[in-house]
Amino acid sequence: MAYDLSPRHDWTRAEIEALFELPFPELVFRAAQTHRQYFAPEEVQLSQLLSVKTGGCAENCGYCSQSAHFDTGLKASKLMPVDEVLEAARRAKAGGAQRFCMGAAWRDIKDRDMPQLTSMIAAVKAEGLETCATLGMLNADQARALKDAGLDYYNHNLDSSPEYYESVVTTRTYQDRLDTLAHVRDAGMSTCCGGIVGMGETRTDRAGLLQALANLPAHPDSLPINALMPITGTPLGDKVIAEEAQIDGIEFVRTIAVARIVCPKSLVRLSAGRENMSRELQALCFMAGANSIFVGDELLTTSNPDRDHDAKLFADLGLKPMGAASTAP
């Protein structure tokens, strides 16, 4: 049977929930068809993430160890010097990363930090890497300045569905996030926008997140799907640990597959949580349309599979970095 694999921006909640309800083989098959329409199925985009300013964030995101609202034992740090960030970017490139992402634990960017940030971005861009940053909310002028400095991607996740959002964070609104994404698009940058699953939300909420992403004015260029890494001391982490309520692996693959179908041209990234995934679960995610990962040993404040582990996985699955002839990440 032929399916319409073209991008849409008018998905209904019922349509997306119906995709989740498909028999698992049928859902993965449709996602794989969609993937092959727009990408080489054996290619995976590789990014590396560095926390350039850790902890002390004024937001109360219930999953985050960096929030100043929670006692997680994490010490706050200042914004890293440009030369230290540049050295980390060079190591990332030498290790095979194609994109270097810089994250700062802020509610929003302060204008006083812009000169250091723009210098940082320009220096990383000069190394021949794609540049990405996640720095909290920003305004239109800041977005244009980051673009002018050489920033290619800006990450700002929606986290969850509009209905479940207040169970995750109350210090900024869903509309605040949509406004920041609009500033990013208007400045001519690519968007990196996804969410987190396994926070106690329902399948309907997961469908709601994907509906919100699919019906944005432009689909995210990169769409990270994070599996919650439950951190002791965070409200959502403590809840998930106490209830042993981490997301089921098959349900996670379903989420990847539906993301691929509703945002067919997006790079769908296996993001946080990969450290806890079996090789077999990751393989199913790649079959279902995931085609981006973070490499390196750490994601902001949580662990990530090491390069040797990823190299063996890529070799066994016949995967290769996007645009490369080699099969080793």
Nearest to 282 by CA among 225, 213, 208, 198: 225
Q: Which phi and psi (to 5°) does residue 279 adopt?
A: -60, -40
Strand 43-53 to 190-192 pairing: unpaired
**Residue 101 known to be catalytic:** yes
**Residue 263 known to be catalytic:** no
Residue among 99, 177, 260, 269 flagged as catalytic: 269
Residue among 57, 193, 263, 285 flagged as catalytic: 57
Instruction: Give rounded-to-5 percent helix, strand, coil for the chain.
Output: 40, 15, 40
Residue among 30, 99, 177, 192 flagged as catalytic: 192
Question: Which one-letter DSSP state was computed for residue 288?
Answer: T
What span, in angstroms and rounded, lies between the C-alpha atoms of 35 and 268? 10
Long-range contacts of range 309-318, CB-CB < 8 Å, 24 or more positions apart? 313/279, 313/282, 313/283, 314/44, 316/279, 317/283, 317/286, 318/42
Alpha helices per DSSP H over 43-130: 82-94, 114-125
Residue among 30, 132, 177, 263 flagged as catalytic: 132
Cα 37 to Cα 48, 225, 270, 307, 325, distances in angstroms: 27, 21, 20, 29, 21
Residue among 30, 64, 263, 285 flagged as catalytic: 64
Nearest to 45 by CA among 303, 323, 255: 323
**Residue 285 known to be catalytic:** no
Read off the tokens for 161: 């569905």
**Residue 112 known to be catalytic:** no
Q: Which residues are catalytic?
A: 57, 61, 64, 101, 132, 192, 269
